[in-house]
Amino acid sequence: MTASMALAATDMVIFGGMGDLSLRKIMPALYYRFQEKQWNSDGRIFLLGRTGMDEDSFKKHLLEHGKNHIKEGDFDENVWNEFTAGVHYVLVNSEKSSSFDELKKIIDNNPRPVRVFYLATPASIFGKICHQLKSHELITPETRVVIEKPLGSNLESFKSINNSILECFQESQVYRIDHYLGKETVQNLMVLRFANNIFERLWNSDTVDHVQITVAESIGVGTRGGYYDESGALRDMVQNHLLQLLCLVAMEAPSHITPDFVRDEKLKVLNSLRPISENECQQMTVRGQYRSGSVNGEKVNGYTEDLGKTNSKTETYVALKAYVDNWRWSGVPFYLRTGKRMEQRYSEIVIQFRPVPLNIFPGLPSAPETNKLIIRLQPDESVKLQMTTKVPGPGGYRLQPVYLNLSFAETFDHRLPEAYERLLMDIVRGNPTLFMRSDEVQAAWKWSENILEAWKDTNQTIQSYAAGSAGPADAAVLLARDGAKWHEEF
Ligand code: BG6
C-alpha cells in the first residue's frame, strides 16, 4: 500500500446523512480512508436527519449499512466500531432556523480547522441550506460545500441553483461532484495522454479516424424511476459523465496539473462542441427505451413496467455523434452512447486510428485491421492497443490483429479505490481539480439543452430495444453511415 497524504482534522457534516448516497457511497468511502489511516480519529462526521433516533438504533443502522455496502473481505467490525466512534447523528430540519442554532452549538464545540458541508439532498433545498449556514455564521474560510447532480434539468434551472449557492459561498469553496472523475481509470486517462510522449503526435485528426465512448449498464432504473423519468439518459449520463470523458480525451495538455489549468482546457472543449441543430438531430442522435427481455439469463421487465406507467416517453438509451470544432479534432466524429439494461455493464473509450495509407500486402483475404486504443474504464480496467501482426509460420503473410494488453489487476497489487474515496479526500485537502467548475456545467448544459429541445420540437421517436440487447438498431446505423461500427468485445 502506498502512503496517503495526511489530512487536516475535519468536520464532515452530511445533510441527508441517513439517505442512500450517504450510507451507500460516502460512509463506505470514509471507512476505507479510515482503515487506510488517512481519515483519522480527529475528524468528526455528523450525519444529519429529520427523524429522532437514539444512539443505539443509530449505530445499529450504520452497522447494517456498513456490512451491506462494504466488500465482505474489506469489512472489519472492530475497525468499523473505531471509525463510527467519531460519527454522530444530529436531528436537523433544514426549514427551521432553530435547527441550525443547535448545529452551530455542536460544531462550535471544539471545531476542526476544515469544515465540509455535503448536501446529499434534493437540489431544490441547496439554496435554503446555504443561506441558513451563512446567516448562522457557519461558513469559515476553510469551509467547502459539496453538491452533486442532478444540478438542474436545463441551463436556466442550473443557473438558479448555482446562483443561490454562490450568494453564500465563493466559487473556490464549491465542489460539484461528477463521480466519474474520481474513478481511477478516468484519472489515468490524463496520465496516459500527458505522461507518455508516444500518443501526442497521433492524437489528432491526421491519424484518428473517430472516437467512441460507451457507458453501458445492465441494471434498469430500479427504485429511481421517479427521478429518472423526469431526467432520461441524456440528462442523467451524457450531460455530465460522458461529456467529462470526452473532455479528457479531447483537451489540450494543461501547462500544470493545477485545478484551473485543467478545467480551463476542459471548458475549451465544451465550448468547441458543435451545436446539434434541429435539422440534424434525427441523423445525429438516437433515443431508445428498453422493453422486456433477458439480461444475463434473467428475465426482466421493460422500462414502463419498471415505472408502472405505460406512456413514458423518457429515453433510457442515447447514441449520438458529436464534433469538437477546433484544429486538433476538425472532422473527427466522437460517437457517444449510454444505456440501461444493456447486455453487459462496461465503460470504454476507443480511439480508432486511420488505416495505413496503402496496403502492401495484397492478395490477402482481408486488409490490415486499423489500430485501436481501447481504454476500459470498468470493469476489468485495462488499456489495450490493437496491432496487426504476422501469424508465425510459412505460407506468406497472414495478418492477424492482436492486443498489447495492460491489465491493471495483473500489473498492480492494489485495491482500486472507489471514486468517492479520492473525491472526499480532495475536498478535505481543498483540491478542486476533479470537480466541475460552474462554467463547465453551464457549457455542458448549453450543448445538451439544444438536443433536448430539438427532440421535443421535432417529436423525435424513441426506438424500443430489448433488455439485454446492444441497443436500438439505429445506433448501429449511426456509425454504419460513416463506414464505422461500434467496438463490441467483452
Ligand atoms: C449516476 C447515474 O450518475 O451514474 C445513474 O445517475 C448511473 O443512473 C450511475 O447508474 C452509473 O455510475 P457507475 O459508477 O455505476 O458507472
Distance 230 CA to ligand 1 centre (A): 16
Mean pLDDT value of segment 254-276: 97
Q: Is the CB of 439 under 6 A from ligand 1?
A: no
Please report, as a single letter, which amino acid is at residue 444: A
The CA radius of gyration of the chain, in Å to the nearest whole number, is 24
Cα three-residue angle 24-237-167, rounded to 5 degrees: 75
Mean pLDDT value of segment 220-235: 93
Distance 163 CA to ligand 1 centre (A): 26
Within 10 angstroms of residue 459's Cβ, the number of other Cβ atoms is 7
Instruction: With beta carbons less than 8 A apart as the criterion, state whether 391 and 400 touch.
Output: yes
In order of their start, the domains of the chain are 10-148 (3.40.50.720), 183-417+433-480 (3.30.360.10)
Substitution candidate for ligand 1 out of 69, 229, 236 with most atoms within 8 A of CB: 236
CA distances from 5 to 27, 259, 409, 429 (A): 20, 18, 24, 9
Q: Which one is catalytic: 241, 256, 414, 487?
A: 241
Distance 112 CA to ligand 1 centre (A): 33
Distance 227 CA to ligand 1 centre (A): 13
Substitution candidate for ligand 1 out of 148, 176, 179 with most atoms within 8 A of CB: 179
What are residue 414's phi and psi, to 5 degrees?
-125, 150
Confidence of residue 397 (pLDDT cuts 50, 70, 90): confident
pLDDT in tens, 166-222: 999 999 999 999 999 999 999 999 999 999 999 999 999 999 999 999 999 999 998
- The answer for 152, left when phi > 0, alpha when psi is -120 to 50, beta otherwise, is left
Place of cell 500527458: 194
| Nearest atom (ligand 1) to Cα of 345 | 16
| Nearest atom (ligand 1) to Cα of 219 | 10
Point out the least confidently predicted range of 352-366, 381-395, 439-453, 471-485: 352-366
- pLDDT of 365 > 70? The answer is no
| Nearest atom (ligand 1) to Cα of 215 | 16
- pLDDT of 2 > 60? The answer is no
* Mean pLDDT for all residues in the chain: 94
Point out the least confidently predicted range of 68-82, 314-328, 334-348, 394-408: 394-408
pLDDT at 340: 98
Confidence of residue 363 (pLDDT cuts 50, 70, 90): low
pLDDT at 3: 56
Instruction: With beta carbons less than 8 A apart as the criterion, state whether 105 and 1 touch.
Output: no
| Nearest atom (ligand 1) to Cα of 217 | 10
CA distance 279 to 290: 26
Residue nearest to atom 13 of ligand 1 (CA): 180
Q: Please list, in sequence order, all residues whose beta carbon lies within 8 angstroms of the beta carbon of residue 415, skipping any fewer than 6 positions away.
A: 74
Residue 249 per-residue DSSP state: H
Place of cell 446562483: 163
pLDDT at 364: 66
Q: Is the CB of 184 under 6 A from ligand 1?
A: no
Mean pLDDT value of segment 30-58: 94
- pLDDT of 354 > 80? The answer is yes
Distance 369 CA to ligand 1 centre (A): 34
Reported residue count of the chain is 490
Q: Is the CB of 21 under 6 A from ligand 1?
A: no
| Nearest atom (ligand 1) to Cα of 180 | 14
pLDDT at 455: 97
pLDDT at 489: 79
Within 10 angstroms of residue 275's Cβ, the number of other Cβ atoms is 14
> Does 241 qualify as catalytic in the annotation?
yes
Q: Is the CB of 24 under 6 A from ligand 1?
A: no
Largest CA distance in the chain: 85
Residue nearest to atom 10 of ligand 1 (CA): 217
- Residue-wise DSSP of 172-202: GGEEEE-GGGGSHHHHHHHHHHHS-HHHHTT
Q: Tell how strand 174-177 and strand 44-49 pair up.
A: unpaired
Distance 137 CA to ligand 1 centre (A): 35
Distance 368 CA to ligand 1 centre (A): 37
Residue nearest to atom 5 of ligand 1 (CA): 236
Mean pLDDT value of segment 355-362: 85
